[in-house]
Chain A
Amino acid sequence: MPEEPHNPEASILERVAAGDPGAPSECITRFSGLVWSLARRLCSSASDAEDAVQEIFIDLWKSAPRFDSSIASETTFVAMIARRRLIDRGRRKMRRPEVPQIAETVADRAERVDRPELGEQQKLAQRAFAQLRPEQQQVLQLAIHHGCSHEQIATATGMPLGTVKTHARRGLIKIRQILAEQGVLSPEDLARATALPEGSLRAAQSEETEARNTRGGRS
C-alpha cells in the first residue's frame, strides 16, 4: 500500500497518528518537560518518575489517533494521558508521595496566578479555581498538584473523609460549570454542565449545615 505523504500542517499528535516517523521524537522534545514535571509531582521518587514518563509516552503515541483538537489542546490532551497513567501507577503501587504542608501548597498557588507564560485556558482554569471556597481549593490542590488520596487529604487537613469527598466533588463540578460557560470545554459540555444544578441544589442546601457541623466538630 503506498504511503500517503505526511501533512506538514498537522499537529504533532496528528502526525504521530498518521505514522510520521519523526513525530514521536518531536513529541518528546515538545512535551517531555510537562510530562516530567507532572511525574515528579505525583511519583514518590525520581526513578519512579523515570519509569513513568516512558509509560506515558508509549501511552501517548498509542492514544494519538484519539486526539481531537476541537475538544482540547494538545497540551491538555498530553496532561490528561499523563495524569491517568500516573494515577494508575499510584493506585497499583498503593504508594503516594508524602503529604505536603498545606501552607506551602497555598503559597505555591498564589504565587503563580496570572503569570504571562500560561496559556489562556490555563489562566481561565486558575481563575475558576480562585472562585472556589478555600476548603475546596485546599482539597483540590492536594489531589491534583500532589496526587494525594482522599484519606491522605483527610489526614493532612483534619477534615472528615466525607467532607473531603464533598469538597472535591463540588469544587470540580463548579470549575467544570465555569469553564463550560467560558467556552473552554466543548460546546456540547455546556448543556451537560448546566444540567447539573438539580443535583447540586440539594448539595447547596446542606452546605450550611455541613459547614456548621464541621466547625462544631473541630471546636
Chain B
Amino acid sequence: MSAFDESNAEHEYEAPRARLAAFAADRALFGGSATIEELDLADEIDLDLAAEEQAFEQCVALLAEASVGTNLEQPPSAVEARLHALCNAIHPPARLDGADPQFVRPQSIQPQSIRPQPLRPQPLRPRFDWLAAAACTALGAGVTFALLRPRDGTPSTFNVDPAAFLRTHPSAVHWPWTGTQDNRVVGTVAGEAYFDPTTNEGLLVIEGLAPNDPAREQYQLWIFDAERDERYPVDGGVFNVEPGTPTRVPVLAKLPVSSPKLFAVTVENPGGAVVSERRIALIAKP
C-alpha cells in the first residue's frame, strides 16, 4: 500500500487555514457540507468560509465553461418548450430596495446536503387547536400573503444543527411541528421551527413531509408575527424535501418579525407564492 494513503492526505494540511481551504476545494469539486468543526475552526481563525468556497466554485465553473464553451449542445425543442412553460408558473423573487446583493449561498448550508435518514412509520395525525384554526381561517379566506416578499437569502455562515443554533441564538423560540390532514404529511411529524427575532434568523427541522418534485411544487414557510396583521404573514422562503432525508432549512426573514406566534408550511407552485394557495401541511406554535 502506498505510504501516501487517505489518512495522510487528511493530515497533510496542518495549518488550519490550509486545511479549511483544502476541504472547501473538495466541496467545490464533489459537493458536500462543511462540518460543525470546520465552521467553528473558521470562526476561530476568522476565515470567511463562504468566500473561500465561492472562490473555488468560481474556478471550477470557469473550467467547466471552458470545457463546453466550444461545443455547446442545444436542448431538444421539447425541453426548451417545457422550460418556457415554467416561466409562467414561477414568480421571480422581488429585490428589496436598498438590499445589498449577496452573491451565492455556500454549499455548506444547502439543506440538500444533509445526510440521509429513514422516514419513520405512518402515524396518527395530531389535531391542532384554536390558534392553528385561526391561521387556517385566515388562509382559507383567500387573503393575500406577504405582498412584500423578500429576496431569497440565508445567513452567510449558518449552522443547521439545532443545538448549535440555540447556543448561538439564545433569544430563539422553538416550537414543535404539527401535521394537518394534507396528503403531503406522510410520516410521523417531528422536528421544530427555531426562530430568533433578534437576528431574524431561523432553522426548520422537519420530518414527516412527503418529498416534493421541485419542478411541480415546493414547500413554503410563512411566519405569523403578533405585531403584524394576521392576513399578512411574512414569507420565510421556499424549500424542498428530499427522499429519505431529514429536512433542515436555514431561514432568514428579510422583513422583521419581532414577535413570532406561529409558523405554517404550505404547498405551493415552484418558486413559492405571493398569494398562497392556502394549502397548509404543517404548523408550529407555542
Query: Which A residues form the contact surface with B (CB < 8 A)?
Result: 1, 16-21, 23-25, 28, 32-38, 40-41, 50-51, 53-55, 57-58, 61-68, 71-72, 75-77, 79-81, 83-84, 87-88, 90-92, 108-109, 112, 115, 117-119, 121-126, 129, 140, 143-145, 149-150, 160-163, 165-166, 168-169, 172-173, 175-176, 179-180, 184-186, 188-189, 192-193, 195-196, 198-200, 202-203, 206, 209-210, 213-214, 216-217
Contact = CB atoms under 8 A, between A and B. Distances in A.
B133 interface: no
Interface stretch (B73-81, B122-130, B196-204, B255-263): B73-81
A121 B86 contact: no
A40 B51 CA distance: 29
B55 A165 contact: no
B82 interface: yes
Nearest to A199: B18
B105 A58 contact: no
Nearest to B4: A210
8 contacts: A24-B87, A50-B75, A77-B104, A143-B30, A172-B25, A172-B60, A175-B59, A199-B17
B4 A214 contact: yes
Contacts of A109: 67
Name the interface size band of chain B.
35 or more
B238 A62 contact: yes
Nearest to A147: B30
Interface string B208-231: 000000110000000000000000
A91 B58 contact: no
A184 B62 contact: yes
A177 to B, nearest CB: 10
Contact of B92 (A17, A76, A77, A172): A17
A88 B116 CA distance: 13
Contacts of A143: 29-30
A144 B13 CA distance: 23
Contact of B51 (A36, A112, A145, A192): A192
Given A19-B92, A54-B86, A122 B2 contact: no
Interface of B: 1-10, 12-15, 17-19, 21-22, 25-26, 28-32, 48, 51-52, 54-76, 79-80, 82-84, 86-87, 90, 92-95, 99, 101-105, 107, 110, 112-113, 147, 151-153, 214-215, 238, 242-243, 245, 270-271
In the complex, which of the residues B1, B93, B214, B271 has the most CB atoms of chain A within 10 Å of its own CB atom? B93
Contact of A64 (B22, B92, B147, B242): B92
A71 B99 CA distance: 17
Contact of B55 (A32, A36, A192): A192
A67 B22 CA distance: 25
B18 A17 contact: no
Contacts of B73: 33, 36-37, 40
A38 B74 CA distance: 11
Contacts, number: 300
B17 A62 contact: no
A33 B80 CA distance: 10
Give the top 7 A-B pairs by smallest Cβ distance, nearest first: A199-B18, A162-B9, A125-B62, A87-B31, A162-B6, A79-B61, A36-B75
Contacts of A84: 31, 57, 107, 110
B215 A195 contact: no
Contacts of B95: 17-19, 65
Contacts of B52: 192
A33 B74 contact: yes
Contacts of B30: 87, 143, 149-150, 168
Contacts of A81: 104
